[in-house]
Chains A and B, each alone.
Chain A
């Protein structure tokens, strides 16, 4: 469980750092292209956040190697970086929702940053281990102070987008929803972290990091999509990713690889950690064995030395009553050599009195009780560890009986080893003892000796109980593991035990070091593979970019460039097909254009040729009308009149048609002069006056009292425009209806149009109106209302299509409002501003200046 926790924490820390770094890179690139301020802020924020998580990881590595001070420094650094990164994030967020000016919210963020940084430097926080990974132990009030910017950013993440989401109508909500989600994930991160710390849940840490990863993902997407020039992206932010083939292919690969990496990492880490632990245990047991063997060796050695002394002539002569101290001293020196400093020898009589001692003042005095001595008195030579009651030290004693020729014990040679026999520093140089501490405990649970961390009386008793009667044991507690090895005196009696122990903390640090190393290498490998993949895919997919470029060029009719990509794979075939298609399009377009021009020329010619016969008709009819060809009777005159009117209609039709052709071929040139629109309306109204009277339609046109400002228009065409609208209104209004014409000055070209000085003319009727289905097609070329009046031979005159073109050529706009059965209002504007010298010529429908 713990290994999994450690692995996932480290993995997520590194993953978050890598994601943040990539995000910073992508955002910086976008900023380079779009130059939007919030992108710069978010890029910085993510770069700093990446550094924060790296610093966190470094801190844990330091702790893992025991450098506590550096670890604390790096932890503080990571918290400071988090505050800084969050600060930049807040700045970016405020830019998106409140615009570019700096205000109160930024000041608030700055103040929180200062507070956080001060808290990070000042607050005293020790290290603590969570699931085997070290973090700083922060009390709630410290946490709030140090992370005040982060808490502020969460507030902003929930409030600013939340306000947008709550509004109606909703605009750009997906982006705000993403920001909101980032805030929610951030809250989740805090909640899980706090709960984990309070309840000491091991899995809390990886889940909280997961929450932060999700929050980061939402933030990255949202910050890229906010204010994006492409509306599609603003509506569906995730299309940013689905739009890129490279991202999709690399993304899928990456996802699978990282998941696999995490899985393998978990497996290998678990394996390595358990291997490491086993090795540790084996090593420690070996150390213990060495200790006990070493101890046993010392005991035997001392016994042998004592025996040598016991058998010596010097002792014999001492016992025979011829004491020669110097001889015995010499023997002792010779026996022990250089080690004599840590040795003591006594010869004790069978009555217990010291007959000789290397310490002269002891001679004659009785000896303190010693089990070894007693055993020897009973005839068995023994060596064992004992406590010297006089000096309250633990010593190694060996006692060898000296027998009389008949076998009775007449004296004991007692050798004492007072040196530290538990000093294994020489061994430590050969093979370091990697333990928290080791030591020796007596059979009564007394502390004899210890190196490193000591164990208290309670633990010693526990250990004693744990080992029981066995030669060795392993005792595990919540936070430590003890290995015990019993030693025996030479007569086989239990004589205390060695212990050597590790704490959980040390083991966890071990585990962390192993996992960290494995992780770093895995992650490095992953990153290299990803970069290679990314690079490779971009290269492979480059032809697609060429394809896109070429497709765009077709639009502007640059057919020259072919796609250079001749590989036999799918892209190569696509490129070949594209080139072929490009040729076909070019060919076809050229031919179509030629054909169209031919047709237009033919029409032009036809129209032109029609004018002559029409003129002939006109003159002939005029002569007949005036009686120049002789007196005609009434019926004849009427017929001639009809012919004349019909001819005039055809004439007008041809003229209109030619005008329409000229507009279509962009060859219409307007002669713009200052025109009083009222005059033109007068004339137009006069022209339809009779028709409207005949249909009993009242035509309202009241000329304004004060003259309006003049429009810049071509009078002829302006007249045509107004006449067209008026005759339509009259035509599509039933008997007893009314048509009203109004003109006024306006500040805009249309209700939502551009600003300027315009004249606005409206023609309102209460006729049949335009059905809703037809309304979108009103200005299209061949539109004729489905409910056109019966007997309407003439057609829609110039047609609304051409009328609109004419209005727009002038620089105005045309629109209408209609309700079926109620009536219609057509409106248009004509500029009153003096046109700039280029205006009349460079409008989209005018031919270019030659």
Chain B
């Protein structure tokens, strides 16, 4: 459910590594998405509640508040519970994936295997639902 429609759908990227954040947000903006960036979990949650994006890309290992905690809060809050969330992370072990999926994420993408192109495809796929 999107409440804002600006340039394209709004995507919230919560990633603590600045370089990575830059790469992904640049690519997404090139594809016509509106990107909001957040560098930690607290910021990310606040932006999500404020801006109500169409999709949230969430890293797990974040300072102050980790990705799992952020997702839990997102799902608890009525405004944000329906926003699709995709994990973008280096954690790849089965149990980590399972934890993430059990919390309600739509997908779990490993940064190592990710190319910007694959990322865009994923985004479009999920937004299409």
The interface of chain A, by Cβ under 8 A from chain B, is 622, 625-627, 631-632, 634, 637-638, 640-642, 645, 681-683, 685-687, 689-690, 693-694, 699, 701-703
For residue B16, give the distance in angstroms from its CB to the closest CB of chain A. Answer: 11
The distance from the CB of A671 to the nearest CB of chain B, in whole angstroms, is 22
- For B40, B73, B77, B93, the residue with the greatest tally of chain A CB atoms inside 10 Å of its CB is B93
State whether B73 touches A638 (Cβ < 8 A).
no
Closest approach, in angstroms, between the C-beta of B82 and any C-beta of chain A?
15
Contacting residues, chain B, for A641 (C-beta < 8 A) = 41-42, 64-65
Residues of B contacting A640 in the complex (Cβ-Cβ under 8 angstroms)? 42
A702 to B61, CA, bound (A): 21
Contacts of A685 in B (CB 8 A): 93, 95-96, 99
Docked pose: A626 CA to B91 CA in angstroms: 27
The interface-forming segment of B7-15, B23-31, B45-53, B116-124 is B45-53
User: How many angstroms from the CA of A683 to the CA of B95 in the assembled complex?
Assistant: 7
Distance of A632 Cα from B45 Cα, bound (Å)? 12
CB neighbours (8 Å) of B68 from chain A are 686, 689-690
Asked, given contacts A689-B93, A701-B95, A702-B94, whether A694 binds B61 with beta carbons under 8 Å apart, the answer is yes
Q: Which of B87-107 contact A (CB under 8 A)?
A: 90-91, 93-96, 98-100, 102
Tell whether A686 pairs with B96 under 8 Å between CB atoms, given A632-B46, A638-B42: yes
Task: Find out whether the CB atom of B46 lies under 8 angstroms from the CB atom of A627.
Answer: yes
Q: Which residues of A contact B98 (CB under 8 A)?
A: 682, 686
Instruction: Determine if B42 and A634 form an interchain contact, defined as CB atoms under 8 angstroms apart.
Output: yes
In the complex the two chains form, what is the Cα distance from A690 to B103 in whole Å?
Answer: 14
Closest chain B residue, CB of each to CB of A632: B46
* Residue B60, interface by CB 8 Å: yes
Residue on B nearest A639 in the bound complex, by CB: B42
Residue contact A634 to B73, C-beta cutoff 8 Å: no
Decide yes or no whether B17 CB sits under 8 A from chain A: no
CB distance from A390 to the nearest CB of B (A): 143
Instruction: Give A687 to B98 CA distance when docked, in angstroms.
Output: 11
At the interface, yes or no: B22 with Cβ under 8 Å from chain A? Answer: no
A690 engages B95 (CB within 8 Å):
no
Known A686-B98, A689-B96, A689-B99; judge A637-B46 contact (CB<8 A). Answer: yes
Contact between B95 and A682, CB atoms less than 8 A apart: yes
Knowing that A632-B46, A683-B95, A689-B68 touch, tell me 14 more A-B residue pairs with CB under 8 angstroms. Answer: A626-B45, A634-B42, A641-B41, A681-B95, A682-B98, A689-B91, A689-B95, A689-B96, A690-B66, A690-B68, A693-B60, A694-B61, A703-B94, A703-B95
A632 vs B66: C-alpha distance in the bound complex, in angstroms? 20
- Contact A690 B61, CB 8 Å, known A682-B95, A682-B98: yes
CA distance A186 to B5 in the complex (A): 111
Q: Is the CB of A634 within 8 A of B43?
A: yes
Given A689-B95, A690-B68, A699-B93, the answer on whether A625 and B73 have CB atoms closer than 8 Å is yes
Contact B64 A687 (CB under 8 A): no
Say whether A627 contacts B49, CB under 8 Å. yes
* Shortest distance between the CB of B108 and any CB in chain A (Å): 12
A625 proximity list for chain B (CB < 8 A): 45, 73
Instruction: Report Cα–Cα, A683/B42, bound state, in Å.
Output: 24
User: Which residues of A lie under 8 Å from residue B94 when comparing CB positions?
Assistant: 682, 701-703
B43 to chain A, nearest CB (A): 6
Alpha-carbon distance A686/B46, docked complex (angstroms):
25
Interface centre among A637, A686, A703 (most CB of B within 10 A): A686
The 21 sampled A-B contact pairs (Cβ below 8 Å) are: A625-B45, A626-B45, A637-B43, A641-B42, A645-B65, A683-B95, A685-B95, A686-B95, A686-B99, A689-B68, A689-B93, A689-B96, A689-B99, A690-B61, A690-B67, A690-B68, A693-B60, A693-B90, A694-B61, A703-B94, A703-B95
List B61-86 residues whose CB lies under 8 Å from chain A. 61, 64-68, 73, 76-77
Closest 7 CB pairs of A and B: A686-B99, A685-B95, A690-B66, A641-B42, A682-B95, A689-B96, A637-B42
**A693→B61 contact, CB < 8 A:** yes
- Residues in A with CB closer than 8 Å to B66 are 690
CA distance A702 to B93 in the complex (A): 9
Which residues in B have their C-beta under 8 angstroms from that of A627? 46, 49-50
Residues from chain A with Cβ under 8 Å of B50 in the complex: 627, 631
Shortest Cβ distance from A698 into B: residue:
B93
Q: What's the minimum C-beta distance from B96 to chain A, rounded to whole angstroms?
A: 5
Chain B positions within 8 Å of A702 at CB level? 94
List, in ascending order, chain B residues with CB within 8 A of A687's CB.
Answer: 99
Contact partner of A693 among B41, B46, B91, B100, CB < 8 A? B91
Residues in A neighbouring B40, C-beta threshold 8 A: 638
Give the docked Cα–Cα distance between A637 and B65 (Å). Answer: 11
State how many angstroms separate the Cβ of A727 from the closest Cβ of chain B. Answer: 15
Bound together, the chains give a CA A638 to CA B40 distance in angstroms of 9
CB of B78 to closest CB in A, whole Å = 9
Name the distance in Å between A526's Cβ and chain B's nearest Cβ.
85
Residues of A close to B91: CB separation below 8 A: 689, 693
Q: CB-CB < 8 A to B73: which residues of A?
A: 625-626
Q: CA–CA, A627 to B73, complex, Å?
A: 12
Residues from chain B with a CB closer than 8 A to the CB of A626 are: 45, 49, 73, 77
With a cutoff of 8 Å between Cβ atoms, the chain A residues found around residue B45 in the complex are: 625-626, 637
Which B residues are in CB contact (< 8 Å) with A631? 50
In the assembled complex, how far is the CB of residue A723 from the closest CB belonging to chain B, in whole angstroms?
A: 13
Chain B residues near A642 (CB, 8 Å)? 64
Q: How far is the CA of A21 from the CA of B66 in the complex (A)?
A: 86
How close is B71's CB to chain A, nearest CB, in angstroms?
A: 12
Q: Write the nearest CB–CB distance from B44 to chain A, whole angstroms.
A: 10
CB closest residue in chain B, given A678: B95
Residue in chain B with minimal CB distance to A700: B93
Contacts of B90 in A (CB 8 A): 693
A685–B42 Cα distance when bound, in Å, is 24
Residues of chain A contacted by B67 (CB below 8 angstroms): 690
A645 closest partner in B (C-beta): B65
Contacts A682-B95, A685-B95 given: A638-B49 contact, CB under 8 Å?
A: no
CB distance from A641 to the nearest CB of B (A): 5
Complex formed: what's the CA distance from A109 to B90 in Å? Answer: 80
Q: Which residues of A contact B61 (CB under 8 A)?
A: 690, 693-694
Q: Which residues of B contact A622 (CB under 8 A)?
A: 76
CA distance A689 to B49 in the complex (A): 26
